[in-house]
Structure 1
């Protein structure tokens, strides 16, 4: 029987029936409870007292999951301007992630925060260690200790006191995601705590912020252009273009000084760099972004100036190479990369927009494998390839653009319309103006102005057929865009344009300014005004195609300086009744879309080199809006 004595239960035993009762084992000490957290809900704060950052800490999706930045800028300006003999690879290696220090601002805003919840009840012998179990070699982890950031190594140990107080870590990426088949951007951080009571672990998953290209719903903040030094006629014309560009940017409210590349004389500022960015929510909920200048995969020396002219605090440079395209090397120029603004369609969402690039129809010519892998691996803007084989240069900016709109979708497609261009000429001829000169441009740069008339242009055995073909190819590309995005005909701005064939039988080339007197004709007396010849071949095999370029300066090949301000190339079309009929028609097309057009002369600087205003300029755009706010599906 049982009796209670001083609060204890006593087992009474008789001599005859004595039984030994087993003693209850002492309760084993529980291993410490460890809880590691990151900014899963992307509000800029790691919640260690509530539960907002608990759900989904081991996964990652477009809408939720912790981010870290590829820390490839140069906040402390330790990367010196490159010497002429510095190899490209050495240029690319210098950035904030290349050392074991936390560079830049005192709040270390480029570091993603990871925290451990205060672990009470730890024994004094408890120690902690941190390890990157996924993504090791791609990220660096720092521990904040005594107010300073210290790199975490295999020898780093957290004390029981630090674990009881809760530890703070910072995570930086060493590079952007290059190829998801090699590394998909994920980093798993594991905290292990060991004591006499046992061992516990917890881990969180972060992902490198995707490298994203700009779209035209992001406001222009800065304009980039190349300024050619010298006093020859071409240099003076190009310098005049730069002065006009500065005035137009200021008039549109772009207050930051225009960036002027001067070192290499490559006037195609759109082609050797694609401005992009990576972003997350930083301390205090503020956007934390790093601009990334994506250098063209071509071997263009001008890309080297990005390191001296732009790399610095908040700006890094990424090189992506690859010459495996088996066709037009010009497809690797970034005039061949534009971005559809955010949209959703058929269950697929592109909250940061979607890239378009040109390829050669029926062949293997497309942008390099490396650049396509890099863009695709970001997981958000998977490139859509369009047919640009009908264009001599082969860039998407020669016929399509995307314009802001006060509509539910928020944007429209601007598209070149060769049929409308032909209609303008035919109407003028019917009204008795067939003898009017096709172009009103004056002589310049030692070149004669084109002399053909409207009637001669229309009588050409090539001009009409070339534009009929161009209209068909543009219509096919527009059908692809409409199918992919859901855009309707009412959301398309059709801008009059005309094209003319370039070098027949040679599909390899890159635009260059044509510094020679105009010569030669296209078709029946229609001058090519410099659009044949003097192209820089880059080892690509020639292909017998009929390819075209802009005959009248391509109006869609301009830049959006503000939401309602657009800068187009001056048209220099036929002047009838004191008005340029192409300028009038282009202005009306954009005005109908709520956009005011200004014009700048690029005839001798860019147009004769098979490019226009957009090809010769670039823009840095606002990156403050979070990219993960997905639009509603349509």
Structure 2
């Protein structure tokens, strides 16, 4: 037998005139014979005869129409031998081809006989992303984005199927999937047709590169093998300990022989993702199947034929406020009873599920928005939520890892050096827009929004680079950098959020606006309500009149600065999200500057109403304790008039003592797991 090279390429082989030669011919490949080089001495002519399923071409093309008659042999005559395009090999069938050589005056010299053993061999994946592993898809070895794209998808197996393990399955050394865990793995199938076995030193191997081995593991399904027959005879308690899905490829095993299934058979493999796309990993992995041959003992193997498939690892995807809530999370502390009561009422009205983390779990850490971000992974065969754990590592740090991680609930974290972590690494500083279109470019999964230092700042705070790199590498929600370092806490949720809307783009961007706040207070003064007070009725808080606020020149200058910062972000958001002014609503919120270290930065003067929780049509808004006219808070009334026009209802939650005084609000103290997008990420056009 001789070697065969990759599909659509020729394998050069040499003729033997003593005995018939047997060639293993993989369907889709060709054998290349240089007739002049292999012809016996004195040969001038040749002829070709073959069985019906063999196809061949001669170059250069001879003048003779019948190849059974002697044809002139030139110095560059080459014979290319293959099979019919849709030929299906038979287990016992051999094709034959005879090359006859002639000398002067077409005198017969000798024959070279070839016995061709056809073999159909393909490594298959779900390249068209319909949930079915089709046979030999022509696009299986590449990736293309978009609705007309192709390429298989694999999930990072970052949930935890067994509670005996501490880490996600993808990080558990020696992890081997069981029947339950297979839903987290992509299916890959080896299909063969041809001889009942591979003889002559041939074998099949799967292999991957060292780099890709850090990103995936491959297991083989033995449930239909003889191992299963043997296992069925074992007692149940022993049977459960026998692994039916042995590891084939990993970082320790880059290449391994796999059984030849036989005629019209298939062998099933399961592919497990280990890493999300990141700065040093583009998300693409390649798995190769090779037919190799060792001609004699002590001689290295040579590749005969190689087929390959490409997978892309699913990105981690964030969910915006416009998606349906599934579960709301808040923390119980010794001082937040009023907040809990308001949140319970809101969630009850919205009809969603509320989970309250008691103090023994939150350990006094109330800022659940800052500790984690909910997202998900998706594929044609499975999807599940995945929590991204922030580098903040507060007292809530155990919750995402210890409570959320489990069966069909994944976990991912990017570790940062402690001295590099700042307040901007808390995930109140990580948001995502609803779907947008910008200058004709569609972002059907929205765009991630992060806060950083102003570009000209030399000593500002930034989100740590490892987290930024991770977010950029996911590709499908291209991040936008906003300027948030002007705030004491430094989070984008302190000056912006999104709410659903029935018109235009399907949402509105809400922005904090000191200008809108001063406009309301000035109108109150003009209408004779200058003595109306903010903070009235609050314990341990001195009320302040509208006249006092308007006469405070320093406060006004501070808010002009804040407005400039927000306007800078406004321009970025309009440009990067394709927004018009009609898509933006200004909320009346004042700020004040306080000194932290050597820097003056801003905090909300009264509860920051933009820092809200969005549950469908229900909004949970920090109660602003603004000035009252005829017994009603003017700021609440303004919020209601702005939101009710969008069909949204406002619930004002008292978070003053337990959150606002600690430089946070309702959004900072809550988190929402939402339903994933219906849109499939692989249909994004990049």
Please give the range of the TM-score, normalised by the shorter of the 2 chains: 0.7 to 0.9
- By how many angstroms is 1:105 displaced? 5.3
Q: Tell whether 2:225 aligns with 1:225.
A: no
Q: Please tell me whether the aligned partners of residues 31 and 199 of structure 1 are also in contact (alpha carbons under 8 angstroms).
A: no
- State the secondary structure of the residue aligned to 1:462: helix
Q: Tell whether 2:644 aligns with 1:623.
A: no
Q: Tell whether 2:285 aligns with 1:187.
A: yes
- State the secondary structure of the residue aligned to 2:143: coil
Counterpart for residue 564 of structure 2: 472
Q: Tell whether 2:586 aligns with 1:500.
A: no
- State the secondary structure of the residue aligned to 1:217: coil
- By how many angstroms is 1:69 displaced? 1.0
| Cα separation, 1, equivalents of 2:115 and 2:442 | 52
Q: Tell whether 2:468 aligns with 1:372.
A: yes
Q: Tell whether 2:194 aligns with 1:120.
A: yes
Structure with more of its chain in strand, by fraction = 2
Give the count of matched residue pairs.
Answer: 547
- By how many angstroms is 1:60 displaced? 4.2
Counterpart for residue 280 of structure 1: 379
Q: Please tell me whether the aligned partners of residues 224 and 260 of structure 1 are also in contact (alpha carbons under 8 angstroms).
A: no
Structure 1 residues 79-94: aligned runs within 5 Å? 79=165, 93-94=167-168
RMSD between superposed Cα atoms in Å: 2.8
- State the secondary structure of the residue aligned to 1:72: coil
Counterpart for residue 207 of structure 1: 312
Q: Please tell me whether the aligned partners of residues 133 and 187 of structure 2 are also in contact (alpha carbons under 8 angstroms).
A: yes
Counterpart for residue 410 of structure 2: 316
Q: 1:260 to 1:32 in 2, by over 3 A?
A: farther
- State the secondary structure of the residue aligned to 2:109: coil
Alignment TM-score, normalising by the size of structure 2: 0.74
| Cα separation, 1, equivalents of 2:264 and 2:441 | 45
Decide which of 389, 395, 416 is 2:485's aligned counterpart. Answer: 389
Q: Tell whether 2:434 aligns with 1:341.
A: yes
Gap regions ≥5 residues in structure 2:
1-67, 71-103, 225-243, 296-302
Q: 1:161 to 1:40 in 2, by over 3 A?
A: closer
- By how many angstroms is 1:347 displaced? 5.5
Counterpart for residue 573 of structure 1: 626
- State the secondary structure of the residue aligned to 1:375: helix
Q: Deviations over 1:344-376 (max 9, x none)?
A: 323644332211111121225210011111111
Q: 1:483 to 1:56 in 2, by over 3 A?
A: farther
Q: Tell whether 2:680 aligns with 1:603.
A: no
Counterpart for residue 170 of structure 1: 270
Structure 1 residues 556-567: aligned runs within 5 Å? 556-562=610-616, 564-567=617-620
- State the secondary structure of the residue aligned to 2:112: coil
Moved more, 573-582 or 304-313: 304-313
Gap regions ≥5 residues in structure 1:
1-8, 12-16, 81-92, 229-234, 283-287, 507-541
Moved more, 255-264 or 207-216: 255-264
Counterpart for residue 364 of structure 2: 265
Q: 1:452 to 1:255 in 2, by over 3 A?
A: closer
Decide which of 276, 279, 293 is 2:387's aligned counterpart. Answer: 293
Q: Tell whether 2:142 aligns with 1:58.
A: yes
Decide which of 588, 602, 605 is 2:641's aligned counterpart. Answer: 588
Q: Please tell me whether the aligned partners of residues 39 and 66 of structure 1 are also in contact (alpha carbons under 8 angstroms).
A: yes
Q: Please tell me whether the aligned partners of residues 128 and 163 of structure 1 are also in contact (alpha carbons under 8 angstroms).
A: no
Moved more, 393-402 or 20-29: 20-29
Q: Please tell me whether the aligned partners of residues 370 and 392 of structure 2 are also in contact (alpha carbons under 8 angstroms).
A: no
- State the secondary structure of the residue aligned to 2:423: helix
- State the secondary structure of the residue aligned to 1:386: strand
Q: Tell whether 2:133 aligns with 1:46.
A: yes
Moved more, 565-574 or 623-632: 623-632
Q: Please tell me whether the aligned partners of residues 476 and 684 of structure 2 are also in contact (alpha carbons under 8 angstroms).
A: no
Q: 1:319 to 1:210 in 2, by over 3 A?
A: same
Counterpart for residue 444 of structure 2: 351
Q: Please tell me whether the aligned partners of residues 246 and 258 of structure 1 are also in contact (alpha carbons under 8 angstroms).
A: no
| Cα separation, 1, equivalents of 2:683 and 2:571 | 24
Structure 1 residues 132-143: aligned runs within 5 Å? 132-133=208-209, 135-143=212-220
Decide which of 135, 150, 163 is 2:246's aligned counterpart. Answer: 150
Counterpart for residue 17 of structure 2: none
Q: Please tell me whether the aligned partners of residues 36 and 203 of structure 1 are also in contact (alpha carbons under 8 angstroms).
A: yes
Q: Tell whether 2:119 aligns with 1:29.
A: no
Higher relative contact order (CA 8 A, sep 6+): 1
Moved more, 365-374 or 138-147: 138-147
Q: 1:99 to 1:392 in 2, by over 3 A?
A: same
Moved more, 245-254 or 18-27: 18-27
Counterpart for residue 399 of structure 2: 305
- State the secondary structure of the residue aligned to 1:335: helix
- By how many angstroms is 1:632 displaced? 9.1
Alignment TM-score, normalising by the size of structure 1: 0.80
Q: Please tell me whether the aligned partners of residues 493 and 593 of structure 1 are also in contact (alpha carbons under 8 angstroms).
A: no
Counterpart for residue 516 of structure 2: 420
Structure 1 residues 433-582: aligned runs within 5 Å? 433-443=529-539, 448-502=540-594, 504=595, 506=596, 542-544=597-599, 546-562=600-616, 564-582=617-635
| Cα separation, 1, equivalents of 2:544 and 2:130 | 63
Q: Please tell me whether the aligned partners of residues 135 and 185 of structure 1 are also in contact (alpha carbons under 8 angstroms).
A: no
- State the secondary structure of the residue aligned to 1:26: strand
Q: Deviations over 1:443-482 (max 9, x none)?
A: 1xxxx12222111111112222222222222122111111
| Cα separation, 1, equivalents of 2:635 and 2:664 | 18
Q: 1:577 to 1:279 in 2, by over 3 A?
A: same
Q: Tell whether 2:206 aligns with 1:130.
A: yes
- State the secondary structure of the residue aligned to 1:547: strand
- By how many angstroms is 1:256 displaced? 5.8
Q: Please tell me whether the aligned partners of residues 96 and 103 of structure 1 are also in contact (alpha carbons under 8 angstroms).
A: no
Q: Please tell me whether the aligned partners of residues 32 and 200 of structure 1 are also in contact (alpha carbons under 8 angstroms).
A: no
Q: Please tell me whether the aligned partners of residues 272 and 296 of structure 1 are also in contact (alpha carbons under 8 angstroms).
A: yes
- State the secondary structure of the residue aligned to 2:587: strand
- By how many angstroms is 1:491 displaced? 1.2
- Compare CA radii of gyration and give the structure with the larger one: 2
| Cα separation, 2, equivalents of 1:624 and 1:97 | 27
